[in-house]
């Protein structure tokens, strides 16, 4: 199996640079915010963080392609860095500390591009999570000061904690009835949103989570971290990986039942 240690170290360097830029502008009274064509907000901090990451990658990995939320796809080849400079921009611009930079390296195989390295850095929460293929998932302050993560062993939906972002997307897709049935069947539900539910699945503090509509940069880093922690990450169709336009993540034991609820009346 390939060794991705150097790529993981680089991803941490990229996250460090992004953290410095995003925390510097967090809660700034003169922060500039625009509305994109899809009616989602983008701040000057989103753009600056992605520009910094791209600049580092151009120098350190000039042959690799880059896909970012703000500036699209640049380059070709079997290796592609996928970047969400601020996942949770709506939180960021309102001063809510639940936001993170998501950085992933994806490599091409017979099933398309799959994530092999992922870093999720949430500086306002003072938290960082990461994983590399075949090397496990960790959380901590640095590569040398880290705790290995493992998913929970909860094996009944009635005992599970379910995290989600909002109900709007489920209603738009006609999946709201199944979603509501799932919330009633679970022990506990919370709308944490964005990257955080996936990290809590990897840590074992949440058992299942799902979102009905996502982009690749929202999912690639989360997917490898959940998988390396022993969990499952699929689309709502059950296909493994972050390429389905939506996501379901779990400790693995509850995954089929999770998908069953979300697809039962669809």
Mean pLDDT calculated for residue range 194-210 = 97
1 contacts 133 by C-beta, under 8 angstroms: yes
Is 266 a residue whose pLDDT tops 60? no
The dihedral formed by the CA atoms of 195, 6, 10 and 211, expressed in degrees to the nearest 10: -10
For 85-105, the pLDDT digits (tens) are 999 988 988 899 999 999 999
- Residue 159 DSSP class: G
**What's the rounded Cα separation, in Å, for the pair 54 and 60?**
10
For 218-254, the pLDDT digits (tens) are 999 999 999 999 999 999 999 999 999 999 999 999 9
| The two structure tokens encoding residue 128 | 């960082």
For 94-136, the pLDDT digits (tens) are 899 999 999 999 999 887 899 999 999 999 999 999 999 999 9
Mean pLDDT calculated for residue range 42-58 = 92
- pLDDT number for residue 31: 81
124 contacts 45 by C-beta, under 8 angstroms: no
Phi, psi of 214 (to 5 degrees): -145, 160
How confident is residue 265, by pLDDT bands cut at 50, 70 and 90?
A: low
Tally Cβ neighbours within 10 Å of residue 72.
Answer: 8
- pLDDT number for residue 257: 97
How confident is residue 78, by pLDDT bands cut at 50, 70 and 90?
A: very high
CA-based nearest residue to 102, from 122, 83, 88, 117: 83
How confident is residue 33, by pLDDT bands cut at 50, 70 and 90?
A: confident
The dihedral formed by the CA atoms of 90, 117, 262 and 165, expressed in degrees to the nearest 10: -20
- pLDDT number for residue 41: 72
Predicted TM-score of the model (pTM):
0.95
**What's the rounded Cα separation, in Å, for the pair 8 and 226?**
16
């Amino acid at each position: 199996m390939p060794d991705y240690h150097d790529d993981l170290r680089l991803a941490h360097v990229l996250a460090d640079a992004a953290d410095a830029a995003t925390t510097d502008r967090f809660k700034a009274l003169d922060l500039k915010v625009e509305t994109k064509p899809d009616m989602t907000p983008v701040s000057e901090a989103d753009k600056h963080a992605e520009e910094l990451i791209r600049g580092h990658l151009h120098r350190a990995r000039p042959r690799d392609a880059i896909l970012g939320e703000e500036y699209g796809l640049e380059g070709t080849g079997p290796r592609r860095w996928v970047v969400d400079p601020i996942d949770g921009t709506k939180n960021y611009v309102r001063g809510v500390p639940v936001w993170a930079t998501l950085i992933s390296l994806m490599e091409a195989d017979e099933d398309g591009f799959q994530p092999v390295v992922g870093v999720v850095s949430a500086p306002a929460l003072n938290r960082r999570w990461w994983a590399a293929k075949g090397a496990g998932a960790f959380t901590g302050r640095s590569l040398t000061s880290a705790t290995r993560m493992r998913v929970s062993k909860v094996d009944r939906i009635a005992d599970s904690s379910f995290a989600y972002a909002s109900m709007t997307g489920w209603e738009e897709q006609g999946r709201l009835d199944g979603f509501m049935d799932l919330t009633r069947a679970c022990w506990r539900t919370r709308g944490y949103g964005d990257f955080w539910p996936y990290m809590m699945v990897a840590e074992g503090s949440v058992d299942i989570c799902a979102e009905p509509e996502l982009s690749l940069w929202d999912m690639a880093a989360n997917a490898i971290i959940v998988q390396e922690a022993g969990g499952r990450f699929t689309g709502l169709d059950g296909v493994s990986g972050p390429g389905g336009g939506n996501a379901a993540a779990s400790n693995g034991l509850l995954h089929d039942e999770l998908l069953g609820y979300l697809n039962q009346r669809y």
